[in-house]
Chain A
Amino acid sequence: MPHELIRLTNLTQVFDGETVLDSINLYINNQEFLTLLGPSGCGKTTTLRIIGGFQTPTSGDVLFDGKRINDLPPHKRKINTVFQKYALFPHLDVYDNIAFGLRIAKLRETEVDERVTEMLGVVSLKGFENRKVNSLSGGQQQRVAIARALVNRPKVLLLDEPLGALDLRLRKDMQNELKRIRQAMGITFVYVTHDQEEALSMSDTVVVMDNGRIQQIGTPEDIYNEPKNAFVADFIGESNILDGIMHEDYVVEFCGRKFQCLDKGFGPKEPVDVVLRPEDVDIVPLGQGQLSGTVTDITFKGVHYDIIVDLKGFKWLIQTTDHSPVGSQVGISLEPDAIHVMHKSEYSGQFGDYSSYSAEFDELADNVEEDADE
């Protein structure tokens, strides 16, 4: 039975006059996999540290099982953490690292042994008991960190970018491993990441954060299909975001013509942001679609091509499996369910234009972000 386990009310954190968290309100159910997702500096790690007890909020409350725990030190919380870069004890071997919490809790050594052995099985590290943690690979250290936290059977496990230091292949494996472990143990996971794909594929609930504020809370499908504003639309996946006007329910105008859509409930003639996911846009022979443009760039991505199409000066990103040569004129076709309409926000106009698109630049920006996290 899902019930509320953690609640954050009006949580605000100020460091040296800088507001890092601005009135966060959030509840977390038991057995939920909740992900805090956002770029570096959005406040996601600070939120996690407050839940863990390593940070006292400037104002607002943290409730655990209905009780206020703002001033409860970390060692008295039924919460364990998997730290960024693991923070394993270098003076202890794998077994002693995992047994650490149980020994502090003064369990009998036979029970310690039982639970550590069981946990070594869960994270597939049998036979590594007496290895020094520094001699392990990143993925193995990561599993020790998870085992060290889970062996205490906490009600909540906090994970701070646990897969950030692993290479792509290992990260995918560990994502599946984490999902499997959580299902097996039935523990609430609060997961912090800046990797949107990781968030979408693992979570029950995604909380998108930016600038110390929650931008949207929802299931991965909600977040992807129904982004609330231009920031969410851009941060979660790729988006073309255009200025539009909502004429009436189900009718939106952009690029100089009206389109059928599935959105309603906007004011008459309300200016809106229109989101078009690159994979929802179809390239058709010239003259067959509602719009037309010129291909200016094409990049092979393996599964699909990234094609940049210039529509009267505004560049769209379109993902399709069909090749279109640079310079060719193409038609563009949009189904009503490809169009998503959002209210204007402070982020309007900042995102969703691919005029400066470059595949190389994209990767560069990703790397910079990862470095900044360290």
Chain B
Amino acid sequence: MSKKKRWLSGPYVLWMVIFTVVPLGVVAYFALTDNITGAFTLQKRANVGSYLPIFLRSVGLSLVSAVICLLIGYPVAYCIARTKPSTQRLLYLLVMLPMCMSFLLRTLAWVALLEDTGILNTFLGKLGIGPLPLIRNYAAVILGMAYNYLPYMIMPLYSVIVKIDHRLVEAAQDLGCNSVQVFSRVILPLSLPGIVSGVTMVFVPAVSTFYISQKLGSTGTILIGDVVESQFKGAYNPNLGAALSLVLMALVFVCVGLMNRFTDDDGEEIVTI
């Protein structure tokens, strides 16, 4: 691109500076200062370490939900990519459809479905079963994450799989592959960039979420996003909240960096956030 065209990215750069870079600086400032005196300190941040179990829980639940999304999303993305183009557009639209609805609403709908007096348990009760503990546990939180972020898994998978040249499949068959080998030797390795970016796109929002665990989880399933939120809104210790946010951000970078190492060394076609 010529130098003259660079100014076209100006609005975005300005936007990013005002609404991302500057706030990030503010977060960093809060994270490294004392909430009363305003002086730079790291002493008060020593207790960040005590949140380690919550960090680990957030990462664990997010990874589990990302894997579930992958297991559900891959076959669907593969099927969509193998239909004819007009059908592909329709199916893709259907996959995206839940995202047109509010994230909060979707989560609340699960509460209505799963709670002890909810739709499912009422129904089961009529059959003489339950009420089952469907809500306020890890499973419900994972379900909420997987449900909300599944489209983010299918999107990148679909766009990578649809680009795989069908002749490569024929070439593999020609060279002696049965259908299982065609998948494991050709299709799966070629869709690896889609898998990495799909897992990233599910993992990153899931690890920092705070609403899902509040609605579908219990006090025992509290996530790091909830802690950050409560530091700003409840306990009013924005300095601790900011510090936790920074640690979370670093954690996300490390995870994304690790995942990207699984793809090709020349790093082409990697779609990350």
Contacts and interface: CB of A to CB of B under 8 A. Distances in A.
A355 B181 CA distance: 57
Interface string B166-178: 0110111111111
Contacts of B264: 91
A289 interface: no
A81 B190 CA distance: 21
A104 B185 contact: yes
A254 interface: no
B174 A52 contact: yes
Given A75-B177, A75-B178, A152-B175, A89 B186 contact: yes
Interface residues of B, number: 20
A95 to B, nearest CB: 15
Nearest to B188: A91
Contacts of A79: 174
B74 to A, nearest CB: 17
A87 B171 contact: yes
A83 B170 CA distance: 9
Given A87-B165, A90-B190, A91-B264, A75 B170 contact: no
Interface string A44-76: 000000001110000000000000000001110
Interface in B151-192: 165, 167-168, 170-178, 181, 185-186, 189-190, 192
B174 A80 contact: yes
Contacts of B175: 75, 80, 100-101, 104, 148-149, 152
A143 B181 CA distance: 25
A interface, size bucket: 20 to 34
Nearest to A52: B174
A85 interface: yes
Contacts, number: 62
A81 B181 contact: no
Contact of A83 (B167, B176, B177): B167
Nearest to B191: A91
A54 B171 CA distance: 10
B167 A105 contact: no
A87 B189 contact: no
Given A87-B165, A89-B168, A75 B190 contact: no
Interface in A73-118: 73-75, 79-81, 83-85, 87-91, 100-101, 104-105
A132 interface: yes
Interface string A134-160: 000000000000001100100000000
Contacts of B173: 53-54, 73-75
A211 to B, nearest CB: 26
B192 to A, nearest CB: 8
A74 B190 contact: no
Given A80-B175, A105-B176, A91 B165 contact: no
Interface centre among A84, A89, A149 (most CB of B within 10 A): A89
Nearest to A105: B176
Contacts of A91: 186, 189-190, 192, 264
10 contacts: A73-B178, A75-B176, A75-B178, A79-B174, A85-B167, A87-B167, A87-B168, A101-B176, A104-B176, A149-B175
Closest 6 CB pairs of A and B: A101-B175, A87-B167, A104-B176, A87-B171, A74-B173, A91-B189
Given A81-B174, A152-B175, 17 more contacts: A53-B173, A54-B170, A73-B173, A74-B170, A75-B175, A75-B176, A87-B167, A89-B172, A90-B168, A90-B190, A91-B186, A91-B192, A100-B172, A104-B181, A104-B185, A132-B266, A148-B175
